[in-house]
Amino acid sequence: MTKEIDHSHQTGHGTEAVLFGIVEHGDNRTAAESLNELQLLATTADYVVAGCMVQHRRHPDPHTYLGAGKLAELVEIVKLARSGAVICDDSLTPNQARNIETAIQVPVLDRSEIILQIFGMHARTPQARYQVELAALQYEMPRLRRKWTHLERQRGGIGVRGGAGEKQIDVDRTMLRTRITAVSREMKRIEQHKVREVAARPELFTVALVGYTNAGKSSLMNRLTEAGVLTENKLFSTLDTRTRPWRLPGGRTILITDTVGFIRKLPHELVASFHATLEEALAANLLLVLVDGSSFEALDQLKAVNEVLQELGAGDMPRLTVLNKLDLVTDRAQLAALWQQDPTAVAMSVLTGEGLEAMFGVLHAHIASAENKVRILVPHSAAGLHHEIRAKATVIREDYTELGCLLELQVSPALLGRLLSEGARMALPSDLPEES
């Protein structure tokens, strides 16, 4: 197998960086407030924020992103702060990045590159590492002309040698294409395995936790299932999808899946490469969309989640919006805008448990609407089905008769089909007990 490129050295290692971006006219927030999320990303990637600068304009300059005056101001800020890098709040074109770097004479990173670095730091499983590497290679391909010297430092581990200049760029381009093909092949194999794995579980109702990064998905999963998923107050603290059984009040078991967090301006390369990770979410019966209700950017975060779901083809899937972190909401009137966006949303706190029962009630209603309500007779000869019925279906009523156990169930079509094939049958009018 082709040896993978090591991207781990690309993190900040304490480098001081100046952050910059563009905001709309009329946005009265300070530069630090406007770039708050970028500050969190930079800190997570181990950069030290030395300053923030924004420019109010309608569209980025196609050549330098910032206007000439603001670019000159950025040059002065970098000199005064003696920072070792600058980080842009948007994705830069190769041309924009090259022109900014020429002007300020320090490395230029954009939002996509920082997110890729963070994903590279947190990738633990082979699947996550392949996905991050594929996204990084796809991001890097059009930027080779600016970065070929960076790739030359990696070349020794890959076994490619050559001179500098245009010839070296061609060598690097060939190297990246070869690696992209190899990683894509591995990702295709993983995706096919995921499809088979998901298809093998059609009898259990499945809930997928999706939402903005740091909204509390892993914390909720731990509370419901004691899954032991890593929870940190950091962006993208976990990348790997985990599915666990969740025993509902009443004894029935469903599956709950924790997925990677979404974020505004998520690089398209990551959305594409993480499709396999999100395969289980796309196959779920219900999406539980978590929002940090205490964040003043909650509406924007919910919009970002909806955009990613649309991009993944999951925009029309059944969903329940959960406004989490109710314990941190000092004025609950601030939730009004979120309820206006989704009147069916429920508010709760994973930490304190407030609102959890209300969430369970709405969840049960979603399960009921997605399943069949039927009456079946389980003969005494098929009594072995009882345990599975109680574990995988909702028993509304049961009556014992001479013929067997008469059950009124809320059950998935897949499980109902198998029960009928293994000895149960649909109840006939003559099977029903007489009402007293």
Contact 131, 186 (CB under 8 A): no
Q: Under a CB-based contact definition with an 8 Å cutoff, are residues 301 and 322 in contact?
A: no
Count of other CB atoms within 10 angstroms of residue 30: 11
Instruction: Quickly name the fold that domain 206-368 has.
Output: Rossmann fold (3.40.50)
Q: Please tell me the distance from the alpha carbon of residue 434 to that of residue 432, in angstroms, as a whole number.
A: 6
Domain ranges of the chain: 8-117, 123-199, 206-368, 371-431
CATH of 8-117, one of 3.40.50.11060, 3.40.50.1820, 3.40.50.1220, 3.60.15.10: 3.40.50.11060
- Please say whether the dihedral angle defined by the alpha carbons of residues 399, 400, 406 and 409, taken in this order, is positive or negative: positive
Q: How far apart are the first and last CA of the chain?
A: 72
Task: Please state the length of the chain.
Answer: 436
Q: What is the pLDDT along the chain (436 residues), one digit of tens a residue?
A: 333 434 443 566 789 999 999 998 878 788 888 898 899 899 988 999 999 999 999 899 999 999 999 999 999 999 999 999 999 999 999 999 999 999 999 999 999 899 888 888 877 777 778 888 888 888 888 877 555 444 444 444 333 444 444 577 788 888 889 999 999 898 888 777 766 666 666 678 889 998 888 888 888 988 888 755 555 555 565 556 778 888 887 778 888 988 777 888 777 677 766 665 666 677 788 999 999 999 888 998 898 888 888 877 788 889 999 999 999 998 888 899 999 989 999 999 999 999 999 999 999 899 988 888 999 999 999 999 998 899 889 999 999 988 999 999 999 888 899 999 999 999 988 877 766 5
Within this chain, domains 206-368 and 371-431 share the same CATH topology: no
Closest CA to 78 of 39, 41, 106, 48: 106
CA 396, CA 408: separation in Å to the nearest integer?
5
Instruction: Give the integer Cα–Cα distance in Å for 89 and 109.
Output: 9
- Is domain 371-431 classified as CATH 3.30.70? yes
Find the DSSP H helices in 35-110: 36-44, 68-81, 94-104
Instruction: Give CA torsion, residues 192, 197, 203, 204, to 10 deg.
Output: -120
**Residue whose token pair is 């009921």:** 368
Other CB atoms within a 10 A radius of the CB of residue 28 amount to 8
